[in-house]
Each structure stands twice: as structure tokens, then as C-alpha cells.
């Protein structure tokens, strides 16, 4: 799944909300306010309690921010959300800006007034972002000021309560490594750098480290919490005690002490003395942490959290669990594909066409029938015709287009299972006529998918080194896509896991064995169609020391739209071998109807 997310918000009068917000800014003595989508945990998915950007602007995408001044509300998004922003946050109430082409810190430098006081919530910006905005403010002769009370919270009368999802244990049989062993690894690394404390504010890192899971935010099975780890191995976990199930509290190691979340910053200040080394993540910790440490005079070591990279390199138990849940997920994909192929033409002929939301719900029902399924891993993108050109598209009860035989369809969907997380995308067609250029683009997307899936690469390779290899078949036709080529995947954690990524932007993270990645090229024509093929792969080491992508996803790749004359013998051979493996692994688990369909749909393809 591309890095997207679309929550739903209730209808409110934005002009009234903005007027109330400006009045609150004036009350706090502020000339402007920086409003990110981030919550205190700097994550992609946030709880309804933290949808402040959506409350003020109506924009519900997964990435963006606004700068609210006395007379302008400037909203910044990337290319994925340009259309959505125009629909949800129309002018003249809002001005629209591309977050990369016109960075918000540059906008601030040009538009802020001399002497302005620009407010920000220090729990909602990481240090790296803070530094950018502080620089922009200085260029304008303005300054940033941390607020004690978030002004949006002050005017949001019906703001949902903070989440209180139940915390459960992640059994060692699935986790593969104990908390004490993970802590020993971390404190050993801390000792080598003379660090007194490690600050951890990423919920997925904490859940992985403590072998727990949670239910605070939809699709993300991890509790919202903070953690401090001392050089002596003492672990201070800042989580609401009411979230802890009995067995979790009982089974925590003796070295873990539980505190209320509001004690996080005071405890941090109490534990650190001037000159002591403390590690923080400049991209994923609140700048409030750095400001507190600077006040103490601590030696601050800013770097990616040590747990982020360790978590990304799955141990053998985690990899086995991921492989197992992909078999269950693959059964759901084949059953769905067989059902869809029959349902779309039959329903259309009967004058009662299948709708996008029905298809999405059918996939969920098929997953719910599989062993170990817990929930979806993200809001499925079930999209027909032009809706598939919007990477962020999500159906609602009121918005669900028909899937007609002449309309290509795309499903990007995944699940959280007891033993892992899944994410896959397939594109479907139900016969001719297809939109002009569709088959050419679909074939190019498959060639791009094949090119990266079969790549062998040396150690030291990073995601941006190989992104163009995937895009080359599309570039040859003058085509491209405006999202990343691949993202990391968690072990029953985040469907988008840091730090590994494949894409155009520079990302200095080596791809190493144990990482699990998506490969998902696509092509999108606004108002007409969208195409994407996505599998998950584990990175493994070959006998000669080179690295390879090892497939985890088992789902049919529809062949009707492939122009086989454009495919090499190697590409055809790979496709046929992939389908043979899907059939070999899944046939015994399929219904008779799905098996019969699959044997035809995945029959060998030739020129």
C-alpha cells in the first residue's frame, strides 16, 4: 500500500472553526500557529482525538500540515493529495501548497511578519521539523513559541477522548526474542557510547521491545506510550494503567516500571543530570524531549532510534510467522478473485451492479474466516474506474461506485494476523473494452514489478539506489507514479515500517537480510483508471553473498490485460512459475469453486 490513510470526519462549519481558532490564538498572544497532522507519537495513523488538522481544515489525508495566521490558512500536502485537498479544503478559505515544491518553512520565511510570535505544540513536532521552522521564522524576523495549551484542543468542544485500547501480550512463541534479551542488546550498545538513557517515543518500537500489542488506533495493534531505558537496564514505561490486561501486567519483567503518560517529561528531567548522554530520534520524538534535555544540560545524541533498525530486521521466528499468515491471506485473495470474476458480470447483467464497498466487505469476510486473523492492517482501497487513480481513495456508506464489466478495478488490502501483517494490491479487468492505453500500462507495471522482484544486489545497497530499476519499464513509455516503490512492513505492527524504503528520495538505510519490503509499482490516469501490483518480500542472502527478494505474497496476477508480445521469455517464465507456486501452496486450502477458477486463471501464459 502506498503511504496513504483517509479517516472520516464529521461535517462542521470550517469558517466557524477557523474564526474560533484565530480568537484563541489572539487570546494566547500568537500571530500564527503551526498545525501538523502529527500526534505526540509522530506516526502515520492517529486516533480521532488527535485529528486536529482534519478538524480545522477538513483535510483527512495521512500527511500534511497547515499554517494558520490572522488572515490565511495555508495547507501543505504532497502530490498524492492534491485532488483531495481541493475537494475537502476549498478556497478561498484555504490556500493550497505542495509540501515539496513550496516547503512550509520557506512559505513561513516569506509570509511571517517582523516580530511575529508563531505558536507550536512541542509534543507534536519532532526536532528535525522544529529546526526547519525555527530557521524559516528567523529569516522573517519572527520566533517560535511553545504553547502550554494546544489552541485547537481549546476550541474543539466535542473532541473525542484519548484512546484507551486494551494492551495484550505478544507471546514469545510469536515474538522469537524476550524483552530481557532485547534490553541486553540495547544497553550493550548504550555502554559502548557512554549513554545514560535511551528515549523511545515510537509506539511500534515500544510494543516490539516489550512484546505487547494494543488497540489504540485503528489498524495499528500497538498501545500509545513512551519509554525510557537506563544504562542499568531499568525500563520506565509510560502508559495508562487502565489499558493493561491482567496477564500483561503480571508477565512484564521485574525491570519494567509502569508510570502514567503525563509523568513522561517530569521523569525524564528527574533521571538525567548535566553532561549525561541521552539518545533521541530527531525525526520521531517530540521536540519537547530535546527542549527538556537542553534545559538540564544533557549531552544529546540525535540519531535514528536503535530499536527502529533492530525491529526492522526480523528474526527467524518473526519471518516464519509472516510466511504463515501470508498463506492464510493468500487463500482469501484467491477466493476473492474467483468471487469477483463471477459476481461483477452477473450482477451487472441483473441490473444490480456490485459496488466498491461490497467488494471491500467481501474481502474482509473472507479474511475473517482465516485462522489467526485479527483485523485489517489499513483501510482498504477498493476502487473502480477513476477512483483507482486516487492512491488515498476510501469508500464510505454514502460513496461507493459500481464495479461494471467495462470498468477496471483495483483492490489494495491487508490484514493483521496473530503472526504477522499482510499488504497486497491487485488490479482487475472484466473484459473488453478497456480504457485506451490500459493494457500497455498494465504490461509496463508488470514488467516494473518483475524487474525489482528478481533483482540481485550487493550489501550496502539502499532503496534509492534501486528505485529507477523498477520505474525503467514505465519511464521507457513516458510514464511514472507519484508514490514510493516499496515500504517496510511490521510483524503484527505498522503496515508502513521504518526505516527501510524504496523510492526516489534519498534514504541512507542499507537493505539487509531480515527486512520485509513491499514492491508496488503503478500507473494512474486521473478520472480514468489506476493500476498497481504489490507483493511483500523478505530480503535474504544468497549463497554468493548477494541479496535477493524472497516472495511472501500468494495472490493471482491477472493475465488478461498483459500484452504478451511485450514480455520477454524470462518475464513469462517467472509469471508462470509464480502462479504454479501459488497453486501448489494454496490449492489444498481453497474451496472447490475457487480452485477450479484458479486453475484456469493461473494457467501458463505464452506468446
Whether residue 585 has pLDDT greater than 60: yes
Banded pLDDT at 83 (limits 50, 70, 90): confident
**β-strands 516-519, 535-541 pairing:** antiparallel
Cβ atoms within 10 Å, residue 49? 17
Quick: pLDDT tens for 206-263.
999 999 999 999 999 999 999 999 999 999 999 999 999 777 877 899 999 999 999 9
Task: Give residues with Cβ within 8 angstroms of 544, minimum separation 6.
Answer: none
* Angle, alpha carbons 171-173-175 (nearest 5°): 65
Q: What is the mean pLDDT of the chain?
A: 95
3-state secondary structure 475-521: HCCCCCCCCCCEEECCCCCCCCEEEEEECCCCCCCECCCCCEEEECC
The pLDDT value given to residue 3: 55
Least confidently predicted of 9-18, 171-180, 448-457: 9-18
CA 252 to CA 254: how far, in whole Å?
6
Q: Give 334's strand partners.
A: none
The pLDDT value given to residue 10: 44
Q: Give 118's strand partners.
A: 32, 144
Banded pLDDT at 9 (limits 50, 70, 90): very low
Spans of all domains in the chain? 14-154, 168-312, 316-602
The pLDDT value given to residue 350: 98
* 351-355: average pLDDT: 98
In the structure grid, which three cell numbers stand for residue 292, read together?
A: 527538556
Whether residue 482 has pLDDT greater than 80: yes
Quick: pLDDT tens for 562-574.
999 999 999 999 9
- pTM comes to 0.94
Which residue shows C-alpha cell 509502569? Answer: 258
Whether residue 42 has pLDDT greater than 60: yes
The pLDDT value given to residue 5: 45
CA 587 to CA 351: how far, in whole Å?
33
One CATH from 3.40.50.720, 3.40.350.10, 3.40.50.300, 3.50.50.60 for 14-154:
3.40.350.10
The pLDDT value given to residue 599: 98
**Domain 168-312 CATH assignment equals 2.60.120.590:** no
Banded pLDDT at 286 (limits 50, 70, 90): very high
* 113-126: average pLDDT: 97
The pLDDT value given to residue 34: 98
* 309-323: average pLDDT: 98
CA 478 to CA 161: how far, in whole Å?
49
* 328-340: average pLDDT: 98
Banded pLDDT at 1 (limits 50, 70, 90): low
The CATH code of domain 316-602 reads 3.90.230.10
CA 45 to CA 39: how far, in whole Å?
9
* Domains 14-154 and 316-602 equal at CATH topology level: no
* 421-441: average pLDDT: 96
* Contact predicate 378/219, CB 8 Å: yes
The values of phi and psi at residue 3, to 5°, are: -70, 85
Amino acid at each position: 500500500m502506498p503511504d496513504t490513510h483517509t479517516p472520516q470526519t464529521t461535517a462542521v462549519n470550517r469558517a466557524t472553526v477557523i474564526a474560533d481558532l484565530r480568537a484563541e490564538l489572539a487570546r494566547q498572544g500568537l500571530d500564527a500557529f503551526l498545525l501538523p497532522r502529527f500526534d505526540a507519537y509522530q506516526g502515520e495513523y492517529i486516533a480521532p482525538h488527535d485529528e486536529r488538522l482534519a478538524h480545522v481544515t477538513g483535510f483527512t489525508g495521512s500527511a500534511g500540515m497547515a499554517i494558520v495566521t490572522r488572515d490565511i490558512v495555508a495547507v501543505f500536502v504532497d502530490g498524492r493529495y492534491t485532488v483531495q485537498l481541493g475537494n475537502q479544503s476549498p478556497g478561498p478559505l484555504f490556500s493550497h501548497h505542495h509540501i515539496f515544491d513550496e516547503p512550509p518553512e520557506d512559505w513561513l520565511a516569506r509570509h511571517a511578519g517582523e516580530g511575529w510570535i508563531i505558536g507550536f505544540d512541542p509534543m507534536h513536532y519532532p526536532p528535525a521539523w522544529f529546526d526547519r521552522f525555527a530557521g524559516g521564522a528567523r529569516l522573517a524576523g519572527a520566533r517560535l513559541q511553545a504553547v502550554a495549551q494546544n489552541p485547537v484542543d481549546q476550541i474543539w468542544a466535542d473532541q473525542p477522548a484519548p484512546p484507551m485500547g486494551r494492551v495484550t501480550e505478544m507471546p514469545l512463541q510469536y515474538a522469537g526474542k524476550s524483552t530481557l534479551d532485547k534490553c541486553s542488546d540495547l544497553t550493550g550498545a548504550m555502554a559502548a557510547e557512554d549513554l545514560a538513557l535511551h528515549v523511545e517515543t515510537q509506539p511500534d518500537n515500544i510494543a516490539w521491545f516489550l512484546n505487547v500489542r494494543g488497540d489504540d488506533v485503528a489498524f495499528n495493534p500497538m498501545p500509545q506510550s513512551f519509554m525510557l531505558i537506563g544504562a542499568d537496564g531499568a525500563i520506565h514505561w509510560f502508559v495508562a494503567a487502565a489499558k493493561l490486561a491482567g496477564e500483561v501486567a503480571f508477565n512484564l519483567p521485574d525491570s519494567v516500571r509502569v508510570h502514567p503518560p503525563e509523568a513522561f517529561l517530569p521523569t525524564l528531567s528527574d533521571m538525567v543530570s548535566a553532561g549525561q548522554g541521552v539518545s533521541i530520534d530527531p525525526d520521531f520524538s517530540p521536540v519537547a524531549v530535546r527542549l527538556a534535555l537542553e534545559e538540564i544540560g544533557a549531552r544529546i545524541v540525535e540519531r535514528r532510534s536503535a530499536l527502529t533498525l533492530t525491529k526492522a530486521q526480523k528474526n527467524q521466528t518473526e519471518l516464519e510467522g509472516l510466511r504463515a499468515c501470508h498463506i492464510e491471506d493468500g487463500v482469501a485473495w484467491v477466493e476473492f478473485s474467483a468471487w469477483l470474476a463471477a459476481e461483477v458480470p452477473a450482477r451487472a447483467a441483473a441490473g444490480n451492479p456490485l459496488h466498491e464497498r461490497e467488494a471491500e466487505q467481501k474481502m474482509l469476510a473472507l479474511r475473517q474466516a482465516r485462522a489467526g486473523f485479527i483485523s485489517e492492517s489499513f483501510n482498504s482501497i477498493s476502487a473502480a474506474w477513476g477512483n483507482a487513480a486516487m492512491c488515498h481513495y476510501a469508500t464510505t456508506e454514502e460513496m461507493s461506485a459500481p464495479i461494471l464489466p467495462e470498468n477496471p478495478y483495483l483492490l489494495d488490502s491487508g490484514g493483521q494476523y496473530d503472526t504477522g501483517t499482510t499488504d497486497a494490491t491487485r488490479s482487475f479487468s472484466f473484459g473488453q473494452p478497456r480504457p485506451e492505453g490500459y493494457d500497455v500500462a498494465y504490461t509496463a507495471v508488470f514488467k516494473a514489478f518483475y524487474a525489482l522482484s528478481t533483482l540481485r544486489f550487493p550489501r550496502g545497497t539502499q532503496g534509492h539506489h534501486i528505485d529507477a530499476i523498477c520505474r525503467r519499464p514505465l519511464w521507457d513509455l513516458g510514464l511514472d507514479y507519484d508514490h514510493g516503490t516499496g515500504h517496510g512492513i511490521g510483524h503484527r505492527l505498522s503496515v508502513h515500517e521504518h526505516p527501510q524504503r524504496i523510492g526516489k528520495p534519498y534514504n541512507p538505510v542499507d537493505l539487509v537480510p531480515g527486512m520485509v519490503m513491499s514492491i508496488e509499482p503503478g500507473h494512474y490516469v486521473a478520472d480514468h483508471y489506476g493500476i498497481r501490483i504489490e507483493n511483500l518480500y523478505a530480503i535474504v542472502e544468497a549463497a554468493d553473498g548477494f541479496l535477493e527478494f524472497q516472495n511472501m505474497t500468494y495472490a493471482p496476477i491477472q493475465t488478461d490485460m498483459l500484452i504478451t508480445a511485450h514480455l520477454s521469455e524470462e518475464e513469462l517464465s517467472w509469471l508462470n512459475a509464480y502462479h504454479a507456486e501459488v497453486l501448489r501452496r494454496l490449492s489444498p486450502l481453497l474451496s472447490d469453486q475457487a480452485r477450479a477458477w484458479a486453475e484456469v486463471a493461473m494457467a501458463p501464459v505464452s506468446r
